[in-house]
């Protein structure tokens, strides 16, 4: 198994010494995110999210299924994510790497376990018919911070998605084609955003938000915080890495709160702009 | 915590101490101040030992913010200004000149890889073994081709640590007639901390059993070989040295070997360091008991043995 | 999901009779198991975890060795009978893989791996019983197992879980409480009181987070005392035995303190 080439020593030292002066190689401030850009596809629930050169496609589709007997009143959400060698030569198909496990689990926690979508609203006919939402996440290019980008893409895709209107008459379920009746948006509890901070071995270097690929490789620990604009934390994950003082963690959580609000604004604007340019035909 | 005059204790540390220590453990902290005496005290990872300005750090410690801090659980040892902590139980740490017993794991070009119970496999170079036809001669290609006739995977051998490689792996040699392949006995594994450095690690017990105490915790218990047979200095008999065949071992010797092995097992289970006198005492006791050899491994008999022999001193 | 059991009743007691900030009984067994270099069985109430450590030893896979430090390898298995419902988990279960990866990255910066280049340290985690607080039990047990293997570490790592019920914080949650409450696990290094691990997986308001977070940090310190006592007890006992076996004990008579520590062993 060829290991990815590690950054060279000059590269490493240059990064560390510039970070020490609070300078980043791409000209950002330490606590500045790359501005996300969204490209919405012709279908509802298809979005390509880009953070700099990191690009992820998320797509949502829904189908009608019979619910499992233990949860007759709830819809089903499944997340499929794949880190193929397409994103970066570091990933390989086959046994999932540690990083892939982290991303998949994190997506699961942020988008599914924190109750983003109201699962009960996905129930059409108790015990008989529920919606099964399938969120597929494709990582196209990895230029660092794949996790945040995937979460963002996933959340935006869910927000963007419209499911067909259904009508229940007794035991009869009619699904209206989008051309007949306007499809309805999903009922969502909240919109969580994931923010990743990278810490470096030298304690003199302050943490950076949204690390680039090089920063991520050379970091000595990541702290991922998923939260919504309502100041509710969904996931805080700091698995090992450099130990931090408790105050430092609380400080970073505080920063994340502000950043989540900014991000929320960008997402809302993006969605609104797309919606305005879209003509939904209802005959 | 120790407060040296030259070493200002930060406020933060002080407040921590107040919350950190339960009243019951306070006596431990007091003990730390008496560094001067030779008695050793216990410590565990993360415990500050002393100031790094007044002392030097040795093994088992590290320095953080001008304090020497323990990194293992064990006893504090001090030699002049050098503070080190010896872990009570750890992997074998080789030193040059140590006698070790090992097992061949792999045959590689011009070298063997030897499992010596250490953090890495040891290396036995082809140039560090005695070869047939004269003790000192150049190693030929033909020797390299027949390395497996000397040592094969799975063979046990006794050797001495010759040197270290840059990454800390040890290099062994068997260039003495006492070293080489092992036959006629059985291997025991004990924690390496239980083998002390002795004058000689080749013990001959009067019951007709030879012991090789490898410092790495591997012990070879075998049938006694007469000293005169070993000292055929001029006539180095490669055939015999690299033979894979056991000699005939009579029943009495077999019994003695198993008895000694079981005694060592019991001592190791009680974490008692091995010494020849202790072994002899135990052997005598075991013979007196007239029990079956295998009974020694029963908990009550083992405890009784330990109680008797440790009380004798 | 509402349960019939009251999480915290009016008298301030929890469903298992504990107070809000009370930890469950901790039982630490550091006795030798088989050929492992270090091992530890820890139980927090009904959660029980066994960790065995092998190494540092020659790396099995040469391609994965690092030239400047040791590789830490964590294998985790959850026994099928560890939960109420018997079920066999695949070894490649994502949740287990994630826990193993978390343990690995928690200990990588703590263990002084640079002392053992080209070696491998194997940590095997076996979950014997689960009743909440799985991650923190695994981390505490791994700390103790590494210490008992004599592997140098910069400090203990002590982990505690915490949750919040309405507005009152709780510590060391049982499975029942974990199912109903937002909860998190915090691991601290007691000497510097720095945090190495934070894992929150359920929705929680930022202000509550800060509250539980600092509380769990304090509880970690309390747990450290318990863990340190167990380590000291074991060290003292082994050193004591080694001295009685020797003709001339090094450095004078065995210390009286060691005997006292023996008594303290059985909590």
Instruction: Give the residue from chain C lying closest to A225, CA to CA.
Output: C200
- Confidence category of residue B17, pLDDT binned at 50, 70, 90: very low
The reply to whether CATH 3.40.470.10 applies to domain A25-276 is no
Check residue A58 and give its pLDDT.
Answer: 92
Instruction: Choose among C198, C202, C114, C195: nearest CA to C152.
Output: C114
What are the phi and psi torsion angles at B14 (to 5°)? -65, -45
Place B236 in a pLDDT band, splitting at 50, 70 and 90: low
On chain C, the residues whose CB falls within 8 A of the CB of B20 are 190, 221, 224-225
E strands, C154-203, are: 158-165, 168-171, 183-189, 194-200
Query: In whole angstroms, how large is the CA radius of gyration of chain C?
Result: 20
Q: What is the CATH number of domain B11-87?
A: 2.40.50.100
Of A7-21, A82-96, A200-214, C196-210, least confident by mean pLDDT is A82-96
Q: In this predicted structure, what is the pLDDT of residue A1?
A: 41
Say what the pLDDT of residue A142 is. Answer: 86
The alpha carbon dihedral of B253, B257, B260, B263 has a sign of negative
When pLDDT is averaged across residues A134-140 and rounded to a whole number, the result is 90
The answer to whether residues B159 and B109 touch, using CB atoms and an 8 Å cutoff, is no
CA distance C100 to chain A (A): 9
* Bridge partner list, A14: none
Task: Assess contact for B128 and B111: CB atoms under 8 A.
Answer: no
Q: Indicate if the pLDDT at residue B216 is higher than 50.
A: yes
Closest CA in chain C for residue A116: C203
Distance CA B92, CA A168 (A): 74
pLDDT at B238: 64
Contact (CB<8Å) A237/C97: no
B157 bridge partner residues = B102, B181
Q: What is the spatial distance between Cα A110 and Cα A104, in angstroms, rounded to a whole number? A: 10
Show the tokens assigned to C39. 């091992």
Q: What is the pLDDT of residue C141?
A: 94
- Asked if pLDDT for residue A71 goes beyond 90, the answer is no
What tokens appear for B272 in the block? 């008692």
Report the pLDDT value the prediction gives residue C147, as an integer from 0 to 100: 92
Confidence of residue B30 (pLDDT cuts 50, 70, 90): very low
How many Å apart are CA C220 and CA C21, to the nearest integer?
A: 12
pLDDT (0 to 100) of residue B134: 60
Global ipTM? 0.80
A91 vs A142: CA distance, rounded Å: 10
Nearest residue of C to residue B28, measured between CA atoms: C257
Looking at residue C248, its pLDDT comes to 39
Question: Is the CB of B278 less than 8 angstroms away from the CB of C245?
Answer: yes
| Chain A residues lying within 8 Å of C63, measured CB to CB | 1
Q: What pLDDT, in 10s, does the model give residues A242-274?
A: 888 888 888 988 899 998 999 999 999 988 888
Q: Which helix (H) or strand (E) holds C85?
A: none
Lowest mean pLDDT across A252-256, A275-279, B258-262: A275-279
Q: What are residue C123's DSSP bridge partners?
A: C53, C74
B1 interfacial to chain C (CB closer than 8 Å) = no
Of A105, A244, A254, the CB nearest to C94: A105
Determine contact: B38 vs chain C, CB below 8 A.
yes
A52, pLDDT greater than 80: yes
- Asked whether at least 3 C-beta pairs link C and A within 8 Å, the reply is yes
pLDDT tens figures, B53-88: 888 888 889 988 888 999 999 888 888 888 888 888
User: Where does B88-184 show beta strands of DSSP type E?
Assistant: 99-108, 111-115, 122-125, 156-164, 170-173, 180-181
Q: Residues of B numbered 199-258 whose beta carbons fall under 8 angstroms of chain C's beta carbons: which are they?
A: none
Q: What are the residues whose beta carbons fall under 8 Å from the beta carbon of B48, sequence distance 6 or more?
A: B1, B2, B67, B68, B69, B70, C191
Q: What does the alpha-carbon distance between residue A66 and residue A131 come to, in Å, rounded to a whole number?
A: 8
Tell me if C191 sits within 8 A of B48, measured CB to CB.
yes
By DSSP bridging, strand A166-169 and strand A123-125 are unpaired
Main-chain dihedrals φ then ψ at residue A97, nearest 5 degrees: -80, 170
> Per-residue pLDDT averaged across B273-289, rounded?
85
Q: Does a cis peptide bond (omega within 30 degrees of 0) precede residue C56?
A: yes
DSSP classification of residue B76? E
Q: Measure the CA–CA gap between A226 and A234, rounded to whole angstroms.
A: 5
| Contact yes or no for B155/B220 (Cβ under 8 A) | no
How much is the pLDDT for C249?
37
The sheet carrying B61-64 orders its strands as B48-51, B67-70, B61-64
Buried b (16+ CB within 10 A) or exposed e, A200-220: beeeebebbbbbbbbbbbbbb
> Which of the residue ranges B108-117, B141-150, C140-149 would you say has the lowest mean pLDDT?
B141-150
- Quote the distance between the C-alpha of residue A255 and its chain's center: 19
Chains in contact with C, where contact means 3 or more Cβ–Cβ distances below 8 Å, are: A, B
Burial class (CB in 10 A: 0-12, 13-18, 19+), C120: buried
With touching defined as 3+ CB pairs under 8 A, do chains B and A touch?
no
Model's pTM, two decimal places? Answer: 0.84
Q: Output the CA torsion sign for B235, B241, B242, B244.
A: positive
- Mapped onto helix, strand or coil, the DSSP state of residue B79 is strand
Please tell me the distance from the alpha carbon of residue B300 to that of residue B297, in angstroms, as a whole number: 9
Q: Which candidate from B38, B167, B310 shows the least CB-CB separation from C118?
A: B167
Let me know: does C186 contact C145? Beta carbons within 8 Å. Answer: no
Is residue A157 pLDDT above 80, yes or no?
A: yes
Please state the domain extents for chain B. 11-87
Chain C hits for A242, Cβ within 8 Å: 109
Question: Which residue(s) pair with C120 in the sheet?
Answer: C57, C71
Q: Which pLDDT does position B38 carry in this prediction? A: 45
The three-state (H, E, C) secondary structure of C39-100, written as one string: EEEEEECCEEEEEEEEEEEECCCHHHCCCCCCEEEEEEEECHHHCCCCCCCCCCCHHHHHHH
CB pairs A-C closer than 8 Å: 109
The answer to whether C and B touch (≥3 CB pairs < 8 Å) is yes
Confirm if B212 and B261 have CB atoms less than 8 A apart.
Answer: no
Q: Tell me, what's the pLDDT at B160? A: 92
Hey, what are A128's tokens? 């008989």
Given a cut of 50, is residue B203 above it in pLDDT? Answer: yes
85-124 in B: which are within 8 Å (CB) of C? Answer: 87-91, 105, 113, 115, 119-121
- Which residues on C lie below 8 Å from A239 (Cβ)? 101-102, 105-106, 197, 199
* Neighbors of chain B by Cβ distance (3+ pairs < 8 Å): C
pLDDT of residue B136: 65
Report the alpha-carbon distance of residue B308 to residue A163 in Å, rounded. Answer: 83
pLDDT along chain C (267 residues), means of 10: 69 85 89 86 92 88 79 90 76 80 89 88 92 91 92 91 87 87 89 88 85 88 90 87 60 34 34
Q: By the 8 A CB rule, do B257 and B221 touch?
A: yes
Q: Structurally, what CATH architecture does the domain formed by C26-265 represent?
A: 2-Layer Sandwich (3.30)
């Amino acid at each position: 198994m060829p290991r990815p080439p590690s950054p060279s020593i000059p590269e490493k030292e240059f990064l560390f010494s510039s970070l020490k002066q609070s300078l980043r190689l791409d000209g950002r401030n330490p606590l500045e995110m790359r501005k996300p850009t969204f490209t919405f596809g012709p279908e509802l629930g298809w979005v390509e999210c880009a953070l700099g050169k990191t690009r992820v496609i998320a797509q949502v589709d829904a189908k009608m299924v019979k619910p499992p007997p233990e949860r007759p009143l709830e819809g089903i959400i499944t997340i499929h994510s794949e880190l193929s060698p397409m994103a970066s030569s570091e990933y390989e198909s086959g046994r999932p790497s540690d990083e892939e496990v982290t991303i998949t689990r994190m997506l699961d926690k942020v988008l599914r376990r924190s109750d983003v979508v109201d699962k009960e609203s996905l129930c059409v006919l108790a015990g008989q018919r529920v919606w099964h939402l399938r969120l597929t996440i494709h990582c196209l290019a990895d230029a660092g911070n794949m996790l945040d980008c995937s979460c963002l893409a996933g959340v935006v895709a869910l927000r963007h998605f419209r499911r067909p209107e259904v009508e229940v008459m007794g035991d009869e379920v009619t699904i209206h084609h989008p051309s007949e009746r306007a499809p309805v948006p999903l009922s969502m509890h909240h919109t969580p955003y994931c923010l990743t901070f990278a810490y470096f071995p030298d304690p003199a270097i302050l943490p950076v938000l949204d690390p680039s690929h090089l920063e991520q490789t050379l970091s000595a620990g990541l702290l991922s915080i998923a939260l919504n604009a309502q100041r509710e934390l969904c996931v805080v994950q700091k698995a090992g890495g450099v130990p931090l003082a408790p105050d430092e963690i609380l400080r970073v959580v505080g920063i994340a709160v502000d950043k989540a609000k900014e991000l929320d604004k960008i997402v809302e604007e993006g969605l609104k702009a797309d919606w305005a340019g879209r003509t939904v035909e209802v005959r | 915590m120790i407060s040296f005059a030259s070493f200002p204790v930060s406020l933060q540390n002080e407040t921590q101490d107040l919350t950190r220590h339960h009243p019951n453990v306070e006596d431990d902290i007091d003990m730390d101040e008496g560094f001067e005496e030779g008695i050793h005290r216990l410590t565990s990872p993360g415990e500050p030992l002393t100031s790094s300005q007044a002392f030097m750090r040795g093994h088992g410690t590290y320095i953080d913010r001008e304090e020497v801090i323990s990194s293992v659980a064990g006893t504090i040892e001090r030699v002049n200004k050098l503070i080190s902590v010896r872990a009570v139980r750890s992997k074998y740490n080789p030193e040059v000149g140590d006698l070790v017993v090992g097992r061949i794991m792999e045959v590689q070009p011009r070298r063997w890889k030897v499992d010596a119970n250490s953090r890495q496999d040891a290396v036995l170079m082809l140039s560090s073994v005695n070869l047939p036809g004269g003790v000192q001669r150049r190693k030929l290609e033909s020797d390299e081709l027949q390395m497996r006739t000397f040592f094969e995977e799975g063979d046990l051998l006794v050797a001495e640590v010759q040197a270290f490689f840059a990454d800390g792996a040890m290099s062994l040699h068997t260039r003495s007639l006492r070293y080489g392949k092992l036959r006629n006995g059985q291997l025991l594994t004990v924690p390496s901390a239980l083998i002390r450095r002795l004058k000689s690690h080749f013990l001959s017990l009067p019951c007709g059993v030879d012991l090789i105490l490898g410092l790495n915790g591997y012990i070879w218990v075998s049938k006694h070989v007469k000293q005169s047979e070993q000292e055929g200095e001029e006539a180095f008999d490669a055939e015999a040295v690299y033979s894979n065949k056991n000699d005939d071992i009579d029943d009495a010797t077999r019994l003695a070997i198993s008895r000694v092995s079981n005694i060592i097992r019991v001592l190791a289970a009680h974490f008692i360091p091995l010494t020849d006198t202790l072994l002899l005492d135990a052997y005598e006791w075991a013979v007196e008991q007239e029990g079956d050899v295998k009974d020694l491994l029963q908990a009550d008999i083992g405890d009784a043995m330990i109680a008797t022999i440790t009380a004798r001193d | 999901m509402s349960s019939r059991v009251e999480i915290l009743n009016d008298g301030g007691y929890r469903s298992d009779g504990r107070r809000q900030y009370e930890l469950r009984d901790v039982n630490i067994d550091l006795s030798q198991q088989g050929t492992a270099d270090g091992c530890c069985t820890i139980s927090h109430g009904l959660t029980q975890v066994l960790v065995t450590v092998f190494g540092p030893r020659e790396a099995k896979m040469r391609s994965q060795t690092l030239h400047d430090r040791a590789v830490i390898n964590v294998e985790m298995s959850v026994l099928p009978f560890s939960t109420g419902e018997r079920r066999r988990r695949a070894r490649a279960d994502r949740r287990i893989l994630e826990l193993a990866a978390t343990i690995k990255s928690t200990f990588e910066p703590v263990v002084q791996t640079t002392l053992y280049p080209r070696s491998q340290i194997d940590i095997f985690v076996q979950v014997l019983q689960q009743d909440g607080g799985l991650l923190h039990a695994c981390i505490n047990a791994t700390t103790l197992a590494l210490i008992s293997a004599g592997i140098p570490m910069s400090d203990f790592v002590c982990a505690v879980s915490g949750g919040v019920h309405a507005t009152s914080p709780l510590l060391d949650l049982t499975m029942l409480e974990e199912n109903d409450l937002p909860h998190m696990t915090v691991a601290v290094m007691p000497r510097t009181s720095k945090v190495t691990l934070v894992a929150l997986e359920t929705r929680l308001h930022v202000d509550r987070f800060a509250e539980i977070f600092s509380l769990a940090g304090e509880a970690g310190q309390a747990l450290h005392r318990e863990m340190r006592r167990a380590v000291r007890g074991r060290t003292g006992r082994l050193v004591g035995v080694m001295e009685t076996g020797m003709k001339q004990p090094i450095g004078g008579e065995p210390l009286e303190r060691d005997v006292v520590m023996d008594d303290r062993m059985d909590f």
